[in-house]
Chain A
């Protein structure tokens, strides 16, 4: 209990005053001291992984992309930022380089779905449900990571955006919010009135949901009262992902019982003019800056809290190994995933690199999948959230063995060249 007092003092919830805190909040605070948090980010539209983590050691990469390849590490404008002599970061991701060097950012190559679909719709659906090839799954994998416990915080699971993300739908309570600011009854007086009407309702279902809602509103109200100032000089970029991560950070720091969060960033479907006159120009460059700077700001803002947090990124499939006739790329297969956190075995490229020579490509055109995306997510769920039984989260999937995303004896990429 002593720690609870200290906790409240240091958190955004201090504003509440201990006397005013509802029952579940006391539980949340008591439980939140060593709470692990997972933030999942979906890059909708099939990001071009080969131009994000650049295989600059592959001759075939440059041969297949004469107009849009990112130059080899060196002095030319927009050169790749080397990571390990074979792979390098797109220069627009330079804010992630220190995190990689700090060994807190792991890169997993050639990830993807066992389902061959090249439909954005189906592939996103599968990535969110966690059951590739099976469309009728009602709930999402992120919801299934949560324990069945109705006493948890009403904001234990949050997706930023107007609708509850597919991946957070399911039996455990999850909240969709456009923003912390909007999650309130617009008319304050009316809010009080509704609260008492729900509390007095004989309809037990609505009474329960009403209680959760008004408690969540109260939590967030406490957050709204103070202007959020990110720590350690972190600056979130303007735009959807920056704003989403900033609000997730705000909720984490309030120790309000957040367990899992979801954010997305669309616009990665670059069929035409993917890269401009230099790698710093064009739609991919703009998106990557927003992506990298948002993740980096979050990392900086969280500081030592990152020890309890994992951020994992994914995109529904990759893009063709070769550029198309419009200086863009078409729908492909395998892609790259990022996992960032204090306990992550970072500073490495994980997974098995299948190569880009014609005979190594999937159907002669795309990077082949060597790691099921559920291997990565599964390892995050077990290694970070401590859930041993993955059959609930990814039914029908048996992992092949650890990639080594957590712990010291982590494996790195093996190359097939």
Chain B
């Protein structure tokens, strides 16, 4: 708490300094220059280019002409109604070859057994599955855990295991060079948990490059990042697939409060921000284990998901919200369990959240009420509008635009499609102030390059690796803040060098499983390492 206060004071000091600076005549002139740039119009060609650069992952050969023929307004309209666009059948066929993507978490844990499941089978606490193919995998893998559990006696045995590990490591290295389909198959047998992560990552790139529903993909990336979870935190390794599919994707153009509720009840988020362990202090006093209330989710829900850090809540509100969410938990996260409300450990006392009294004796409705209060709050309308504008318009979006977006949010009870429309149809969006002002994120840079060069993909892992080297490992942002929407996040030497090296490799067809027509696109690919390509 003390830390937070100091940081806030620091932020305040910086803000004051910036305000003082803004008062100097030069800064004032600069600010008015920036403001007037958001009034400056774009010509027709620029408009098409700009819309495609913001509402899609970049222009493919022929896109400009096609969109101009269809009409820009119509194209935007279609993108805002993704179900109206027939999806690319080639993409659907590729995704179908990655079976974990469509599985319920329960099925996923069975088909891609976790270390916990394999250990349970190894020591006989769980039954072997009956499916012969699965049984084979289980037998082989649980053997490994058995060996690990039984005490090793000799150096010979150590060496034997080292040799076996060596073979597996070599196999793993080969896996990187396989096609998506071959890898999915091989990993499922060799390292099932890796298959889940690898399919999720590969699918993200296939979709960004090949989906016809481009805005939907851009928004899925935006909102996953907003409600970030970290794939490498324990059970999130197998909970993240369903999280993105069921909690994020259905709501990106829907009602914001629905997305908040879906993420709040999603095992991935409950695990990531520890709410699944949060119980009313009174409920555990009788038990031996030292568990209690956990404020992590409550704090991030307000600070990062809804109100924003300056949204007007206090530490007391954090505690009260945490009390409302006690008992929101998961049934056995390591076995792929579902959301469950545990009445027994819920704090049933009266709570006051942002001045609203939540009467004593409540159950799951306490948390639902909090989501309602937070989603309807004017700070949330503003915070969400600003964040969207920062992604789609400019690093420092004009305040007047944010106000209009927030207004739409309030009037429509958080209808995200309506908010997007207000933004896209604004003068500021289609202005010289916005045009080519944003630094591309690594995902945008790579997906854009693959689209612009019409690349044929049989393996997207090398692209994912390039994105990671540029500083944006997919699904692996450790902090709940997600990646920044401000371009400065990506301005560093290692990132720039990775961008350059990716372009060189793409231009020479040196990325496994990614092929371009060198005669036509080699020079274009090489240009993608240059400064001009880094903006959108």
A residues sitting closer than 8 Å to B (CB atoms) are 119, 121-122, 125, 131-138, 154, 162-164, 166, 173-177, 183-187, 190-191, 194, 197-198, 201, 203, 205-207, 209-210, 212-213, 216-217, 272-273, 276-277, 281-282, 326-327, 363, 391, 395-397
Can you report 29 A-B residue pairs in the complex whose CB atoms are below 8 A from each other?
Answer: A119-B233, A119-B274, A125-B479, A131-B7, A133-B3, A136-B303, A136-B479, A136-B480, A137-B3, A162-B468, A163-B471, A163-B473, A173-B493, A175-B493, A183-B497, A187-B504, A190-B504, A190-B529, A201-B531, A205-B487, A205-B491, A206-B491, A206-B534, A209-B492, A273-B148, A276-B152, A282-B152, A395-B7, A396-B6
A135 touches B492 (CB 8 A): no
- Contact: A207 with B494, CB < 8 Å? no
Is B84 an interface position by the 8 A CB rule? no
Of A174, A198, A396, which contacts B492 at CB under 8 A? Answer: A174
- Segment from B153-161, B182-190, B205-213, B319-327 that makes contact with A: B153-161
Q: Using A131-B7, A205-B488 as known contacts, list a sample of 19 further A-B pairs with CB atoms less than 8 Å apart, ordered by residue number in A.
A: A125-B479, A136-B304, A136-B309, A154-B493, A162-B469, A163-B471, A164-B494, A176-B494, A177-B494, A190-B504, A190-B526, A191-B500, A197-B531, A213-B496, A273-B149, A273-B152, A281-B155, A282-B158, A395-B3
Answer yes or no: B170 CB below 8 A from chain A CBs.
no
Q: Contact between B158 and A281 (Cβ–Cβ < 8 Å)?
A: yes
Q: How far is the CA of A212 from the CA of B484 in the complex (A)?
A: 22
Is B153 in contact with A277, judged by CB distance below 8 angstroms?
yes
Chain A residues positioned under 8 Å from B158 (CB to CB):
276, 281-282
* B504 near A396: Cβ-Cβ < 8 Å: no
Q: Is the CB of A395 within 8 A of B10?
A: yes
Q: How far is the CA of A273 from the CA of B151 in the complex (A)?
A: 7
Of B3, B304, B531, which contacts A396 at CB under 8 A?
B3
Q: Which of A163, A207, A281, A397 contacts B152 (CB 8 A)?
A: A281
How distant is the Cα of A188 from the Cα of B500 in the complex, in angstroms? Answer: 12
For residue B1, which residues in chain A have a CB less than 8 angstroms away from its CB?
Answer: 133
> In the complex, are the beta carbons of A186 and B296 less than 8 A apart?
no
Contact with A along B138-166 (1 / 0, CB 8 A): 00000000001101111100100000000
Question: Distance (Å) between the CB of B354 and the closest chain A CB?
Answer: 20
List residues of chain B with CB within 8 A of the CB of A183. 494, 497
Which residues of chain B have C-beta atoms less than 8 A from A395's C-beta?
A: 3, 6-7, 10
Query: Cβ of B501 < 8 Å from any Cβ of A?
Result: yes
A185 with B7: in contact, given A125-B479, A136-B480, A203-B535 (CB under 8 Å)? no
Complex Cα gap A201–B1 (Å): 45
**Contact: A138 with B481, CB < 8 Å?**
yes
Alpha-carbon gap, A363 to B148, bound state (A): 29
Q: Mark B309-346, 1 if CB is under 8 A from A, else 0.
A: 10000000000000000000000000000000000000
Give the Cβ gap from B268 to chain A, nearest Cβ, in Å: 13
Which A residues touch B487, using CB under 8 A? 205
Indicate with 1 or 0, residue by residue over B417-445, a CB within 8 angstroms of chain A CB atoms: 00000000000000000000001000000
Residue on B with the closest CB to A159? B494
Note all chain A residues with C-beta closer than 8 A to B4.
134, 396
- From A122, A164, A185, A391, give the contact of B471 (CB < 8 A): A164
List 9 A-B pairs, minimum CB-CB distance, nearest first.
Answer: A396-B3, A201-B531, A213-B493, A176-B494, A206-B531, A396-B2, A395-B6, A396-B6, A121-B233
List, in ascending order, chain B residues with CB within 8 A of A132's CB: 3
Bound: A162/B497 CA distance, A? 12
- Tell me which residues across on chain A come within 8 A of B177, comparing CB atoms: none
A contacts with B: majority SS: loop
Contact partner, B468, options A163, A216, A277, A327, Cβ 8 Å: A163
| Alpha-carbon distance A136/B190, docked complex (angstroms) | 37
Which partner residue on chain B sits nearest A200 by CB separation?
B531
Residues of A contacting B5 with CB < 8 Å? 396
A185 touches B501 (CB 8 A): yes
How many angstroms between the C-alpha atoms of A277 and B233 in the bound complex? Answer: 32
Residues of A within 8 A of B471 (CB): 163-164, 176
What is the CA–CA distance of A197 and B535 in the complex, to the nearest angstrom?
15
Q: Is the CB of B531 within 8 A of A326?
A: no
A125 contact set on B, CB distance < 8 A: 478-479
Give complex CA distance A166, B232 in Å: 15
Residue of A nearest to B504 (CB): A187
A132 to B4, CA, bound (A): 11
Contact with A along B448-487 (1 / 0, CB 8 A): 0000000000000000000011010100001111001001
* B57-77 interface bits toward A, Cβ cutoff 8 Å, 1 = contact, 0 = none: 000000000000000000000
Q: Is B89 an interface residue (CB 8 A)?
A: no
Given contacts A136-B481, A205-B491, A272-B148, contact A213 B3 (CB under 8 A): no
**Contact A327–B531 (Cβ < 8 Å):** no
A164 to B473, CA, bound (A): 11
Name B1-43 residues within 8 Å CB distance of A.
Answer: 1-7, 10
Q: How far is the CA of A350 from the CA of B216 in the complex (A)?
A: 57
Determine the distance from Cα of A213 to Cα of B149 in the docked complex, in whole angstroms: 48
Q: Is the CB of B300 within 8 A of A210?
A: no
Kindly state the separation between the CA atoms of A216 and B154 in the bound complex, as whole angstroms: 49
Q: Is the CB of B151 within 8 A of A327?
A: yes
CB neighbours of B504 from chain A (8 A): 185-187, 190
